[in-house]
Amino acid sequence: MKIKIILLVVLTFLSCSSDDNTVVESQEEPLIIELVTNNTNVTIDEVVTFQVKTNKPFGSITYSTDNFITSKTVGKSLGDSFGTSLTLYVNTANIGKITHSIEVSDANNPSKKAKSSLSFTVEKGNAVRIKDVLVNSFYDKDNIWDTEFSNTDPNRLADVFFVLQKPQIGTLTGQFQQQLWYKSNVKENQGDLKWDLLQDNLYVNPNAIIQLGLADDDGGGIAQDLLLGPPYEKDINLSQYISTKPDNIIFEDNSINLDVDFGLEW
């Protein structure tokens, strides 16, 4: 008798639960996403936001600027959610069109997802352009940076490349942080130490501090710092040139024989 009662209870529970699911499934409205912004025509390094809005709380968000070839996902633990609205920030570091693709999942039913995308056009605005870079000197230029070669072998010379960083905004945080902006090709054994950057469209808000790194490429992802860091980057303050708008600036650090020319366009 006891067994029968338990069995009956289990069966009742199963059937109720099954019925409930069926009802929920059929009545559940789909997750709907909408991306909302005031402005899709923006300028270099401008702070631009858009809202991710949903009809139901979402528990994870995946965002991408290359149609999900690469992406980042941020999720809440079960039972928690982002609510139905979240502000994201657009990285306006580079000129041209940038498309944000967003996918969210239902906080209460993570297998239910919705996605959408929104495009922005980034224009020059008041930005200054870095047209070219010429490295006139660096520490131990013309000397041995590749010790595997002899004193007279041209291969002893540094295989030079530079990187530029500038403050770029975090998609979720809205905070500016120095991030890689440009990495040059390598001038083997010093080469001409001159880089024409016109095709790279390097525009920056002149009120920002940009950073220069300079290194000897040893291959295999290994490099020797030509700035004798840390720090491995030098700060360049462009704001001091806003009123005079020179075509060229010279960045020097005599302590390490550093002398770099930047060609600018205002």
Decide: is 145 part of the binding site for Ca ion (CB under 5 A). yes
- Parallel, antiparallel, or unpaired: how do β-strands 48-54 and 41-43 relate? unpaired
224 is an interface residue for Ca ion by CB under 5 A? yes
CB of 6 or CB of 222, closer to Ca ion? 222
The least CB distance from residue 252 to Ca ion, in Å, is 24
Give the span between the Cα atoms of 8 and 17, in whole angstroms.
14
Cβ closest to Ca ion, residue 45 vs residue 217: 217
Measure the CA–CA gap between 184 and 189, rounded to whole angstroms.
15
Query: What tokens does 69 get?
Result: 């070839």
* DSSP letter (8 states) at residue 192: T
Within residues 61-120, the interface with Ca ion by CB under 5 A covers: none
Residue 146 or 252: the one with the smaller Cβ distance to Ca ion is: 146
Quote the CA–CA distance of 121 and 42 in Å, as a whole number: 6
Strand partners, 178: 167
Element at 25 (helix H, strand E): helix 2-27
Q: Count the neighbouring beta carbons within 10 Å of the beta carbon of residue 108.
A: 15
The verdict on 259 binding Ca ion (CB under 5 A) reads no
- Closest contact distance (angstroms) between CB of 157 and Ca ion is 5
161, 221, 241: which is closest to 197 by C-alpha?
Answer: 161
DSSP for 55-70 reads SS-EEEEEEESSTTSS
With binding defined as CB under 5 A, does residue 218 bind Ca ion?
yes
Nearest residue to Ca ion, by Cβ distance, number only: 146
Asked if 155 touches Ca ion (CB under 5 A), the answer is yes
CB atoms within 10 A of CB 248: 11
> Interface with Ca ion includes 217 (CB under 5 A)?
no
User: Out of 159, 213, 233, 238, which residue is the one contacting Ca ion (CB under 5 A)?
Assistant: 159
Establish if 225 lies at the interface with Ca ion (CB under 5 A): no
Site for Ca ion contains 143 (CB under 5 A):
no
**Closer CB to Ca ion, 104 or 215, in the complex:** 215
Query: Residue from 123, 132, 146, 261 that binds Ca ion (CB under 5 A)?
Result: 146
Number of residues that bind Ca ion (CB under 5 A): 8
Which stretch, 27-35, 98-106, 141-149, 248-256, contacts Ca ion (CB under 5 A)?
141-149
CB of residue 139 to Ca ion, shortest distance in Å: 13
Question: Site for Ca ion (CB under 5 A): which residue of 216, 236, 238, 262?
Answer: 216
| Cβ neighbours for 8, distance < 8 A, ≥ 6 positions apart | none
Span between the terminal Cα atoms of the chain, in Å: 91
Question: For Ca ion, which is the closer residue by CB, 48 or 160?
Answer: 160
d(CA 202, CA 94): 7
Chain positions 183 to 212 lying near Ca ion, rule: CB under 5 A, are: 189
- Quick check: bond before 154 cis, omega within 30? no
Cβ proximity to Ca ion, 29 vs 148, nearer residue: 148
**Binding site residues, Ca ion, CB under 5 A:** 145-146, 155, 159, 189, 216, 218, 224
